[in-house]
Every structure is written in structure tokens, then in C-alpha cells.
Amino acid sequence: MITQIVTHGSPAHLDELAGAIQLQDYGEEKLPGVNTATFRCLQSGENVLELAQREDTVLLGLGAQFRNEGNAHRIFDEHVANGDTSQSRECAATLVAKFVGIDQEFRWKKILKAILHTDRNPPNLTLDLSVTVMEMQFQGWALCAVLQETRKTLDVHLRKADQFAAVSLLPMKEEELNLNGERHILTTIEGDDPKAPAFARFLGASVVVVRNSSGHVQVLTANHLCLDMRDVIRALRLREQWIQQKVRVTDWRFLEQEGVIEEVPEWFWHKDSNNILNGGRSRPDAPPTKIPLGIIVETVKMCLETNRFEPSRQQKCEQGVCTSTPRKPCPLYNLGLVRCRTVRAIRANAYQASR
């Protein structure tokens, strides 16, 4: 019968607090008594070996050096001991989640990912409770009170996950997006559920392209990435004119301005949120785009993946040589991409220097 859950000396970290909650809520079947067990910090002078040997004690975040086949079900400690690195990429919460069988539950996966990140890195803005729980203890809060507050906050996040899980999911397609050498996710959604974009971002999408049943399209980005959307808005406005065979304006700098322009009313760039909108709740008067969804998605990817050039010219472009000419124009240069202009400027500067 489990009577106590012991973690390392004060303050207890978020992963141990979450692990204790998981044990109390889900661990009774495997560890009888754990749902009413006392949660406390290790006291000065206590012997961890003796605690590891006690059948009534669960250890969180300590005791790895004393773990063996007989007590492994009671010791959840990711720290390396005796050369064993098998759990070094875990934390107390993820180890407990796997033990009680909730690590793959949708409602827990995002939270566990955030807790693990926080345990291994600076505070995570997704779940910044890690700083708060330690500050509570520094200010004299009893550990049981901190545990209660942690439970309340985690319950909020769990209910949010449950709400997303209850959404009748629209067709979603995920694909890889390379942003400055880092792997991100671009998600395409077709449908009208207003919760769907938030759900996609909840699952980790950095860019979401939504096509409503009306034909309107929104390109939504994770604001914290501060993506340069000039290429995207310019390319979409150019393609809109080309596909309608009504070219009204071609000036690149004019086409990349924020807001809406009279010549291409379909597309609005909301610079503060860094979203590009064709219609939507805020602009129901905008005509739906004529650009096929697949071309929009490819345009967004091509514009944001700044290391991409026209395949047959890639090598020359990387060398700073633009091979686009009036007779053999490069389709990417015609879109006025910032990276293409940079390469063009290098060639022009080199030409001027040689004269």
C-alpha cells in the first residue's frame, strides 16, 4: 500500500507535480493507495536508499541510482545514474504517463510535450506554470497547496484538449515546411468550422491555409515566428491577376503593401497578426479567390522557404548569379521574391565594380 510520494528537495518542479497528479488520478490500479498518498519533498538527512527500498513509497525525480527490477515500478527518475541513459530524454511526468498508460491520450500529449520541454529548456510560454510553481514554494506555499493549484491549471488545459477532440474534424493535410533550416508544419484545411485553425495550431502547425466552402481562403501564421509575408502577399496578388487575365498592377513594392489594394481586392494582409485573408468573418465582402487551393499552398511554401530557387537555376542562384532574361524569364524572379532581388543586386553590383 502506497502512503507517500517523495520528490527531491524543495522546490518541486512542474514535472514532479504533474507526475504526482497523474499517479493520484490514474495510478491506483497499479499502485494501490497512491490516490490518497501524501506528496512531499525529501527532507534533510533522509536516506534515499531506504526510501527506494520501502514498498509504501514512490519516488519522483530522484532514486535512479537505486532503481532495480524490484522497485522500478515505484521510481520515476530520468536522471542518469550508473551509466544508464535509457530515460535521460524523459522527465518525471512522461515516465509516470507511460507507466499509467496515458502518454498517447490526445488530451495529455500536448501538455506532456510542454512539460518535458520546460524541464529540459528555459520556461515554455505554452505552459509557463513551471516558474509559478517554484515561486509559490519560494513564497512559503505548502506543497499540498501548490499541488492543488497545479491540478486546477492542468484541468483547464485538459478541458481545452477535450474540446478540440470533440470538434468534428475537417479534412486536414499536413506537410513539412522548411523555415531557415528548421522543420515546421503547414496544415491545409477545407471547411467552415471556426475552431479548426486553432486545432491545427494546437497540434503544432506554424502555418495554416484554410479554404471555406464559399471559396474564400485564409493564410494564418504563428505570430511568434514573425514570418516575412511580403513575398506571399505579392505572389498571391500577382497570381490572382494572372489567373483572371486582368493585370492591373505589377509594381512589386506596391503589391507587397499591407492592407488591401483596390486593384486586387481579393487579398488583405493584416500585418499586425501576420495573416493574409481572402474574405473571412472580418472581410465578408471580399470576392473569393480564383486561384486553386493547391497553387495557393505551393505559393505559400515557395515564398516562405527562402532557400528554394527555380530548380534548373538553383546552383547559379546560390552562387549569386541570376540567369533570368527577357527571353528566358525565371518564373520565381517574375514574382519579385526578395531573395531573387538580392541575387540580382549582387550581379548588378559586380557589374558596376568591373566597369
Domain boundaries, the chain: 4-165, 172-304, 313-354
For residue 192, give the 3-state DSSP assignment.
coil
For residue 92, give the 3-state DSSP assignment.
helix
- pLDDT reading at 61 higher than 50: yes
- pLDDT reading at 351 higher than 50: no
What is the pairing mode between strands 4-7 and 207-211? unpaired
- pLDDT reading at 237 higher than 80: yes
CB 188 within 8 A of CB 209: yes
pLDDT for 261: 94
Residue 107 vs residue 61, higher pLDDT: 61
pLDDT for 347: 59
- pLDDT reading at 72 higher than 70: yes
pLDDT for 131: 82
Residue 193: DSSP 8-state: -
Nearby residues of 215 by Cβ (< 8 Å), 6 or more positions away: 288, 289
Confidence of residue 10 (pLDDT cuts 50, 70, 90): confident
The residue to which cell 515557395 is assigned: 302
CB atoms within 10 A of CB 55: 10
Q: CA 6, 11, 148: angle at the middle one, nearest 5?
A: 75
Nearby residues of 337 by Cβ (< 8 Å), 6 or more positions away: 231, 235, 303
pLDDT for 123: 57
What is the pairing mode between strands 207-211 and 182-190? parallel
Nearby residues of 64 by Cβ (< 8 Å), 6 or more positions away: 75, 77, 78, 79, 80, 81, 82, 84, 87
Of 48-57, 100-109, 159-168, 307-316, give the range with the top mean pLDDT.
48-57
Length of the chain counted residue by residue: 355
Of 75-89, 112-126, 204-218, 275-289, give the range with the top mean pLDDT.
204-218
Reported as type and span, the H/E element at residue 184 is strand 182-190
Residue 114 burial by CB count (10 A; 0-12/13-18/19+): exposed, middle or buried?
buried
Confidence of residue 326 (pLDDT cuts 50, 70, 90): confident
Q: CA 119, 125, 131: angle at the middle one, nearest 5?
A: 55
For residue 39, give the 3-state DSSP assignment.
strand
CB 57 within 8 A of CB 76: no
pLDDT for 332: 84
The C-alpha atoms of residue 21 and residue 115 are separated, in whole angstroms, by: 13
CB 209 within 8 A of CB 190: no
The three cell numbers of residue 211 are: 479554404
Residue 194 vs residue 257, higher pLDDT: 257
- pLDDT tens column, 29-60: 999 999 999 999 998 889 999 999 999 999 99
Confidence of residue 122 (pLDDT cuts 50, 70, 90): low
pLDDT for 9: 85
pLDDT for 80: 84
The C-alpha atoms of residue 179 and residue 201 are separated, in whole angstroms, by: 16
Residue type, 350: A
Mean pLDDT over each residue of the chain, to the nearest integer:
88
- pLDDT tens column, 179-210: 988 999 999 999 888 888 888 887 789 999 99
CB 214 within 8 A of CB 279: yes
| DSSP 3-state percent helix, strand, coil across the chain (nearest 5) | 45, 15, 40
Confidence of residue 126 (pLDDT cuts 50, 70, 90): low
Residue 119 vs residue 216, higher pLDDT: 216
Q: What is the mean pLDDT of residues 57-69?
A: 94
Q: Where are the alpha helices (DSSP H) in the chain?
A: 14-26, 48-53, 92-100, 106-120, 129-138, 143-166, 196-202, 230-244, 252-255, 293-304, 314-318, 338-354
The C-alpha atoms of residue 48 and residue 103 are separated, in whole angstroms, by: 27
The residue to which cell 495573416 is assigned: 275
The three cell numbers of residue 77 are: 527518475
Q: What is the mean pLDDT of residues 89-117?
A: 91
Q: What is the mean pLDDT of residues 301-309?
A: 91
Residue 336: phi, psi to the nearest 5?
75, 30
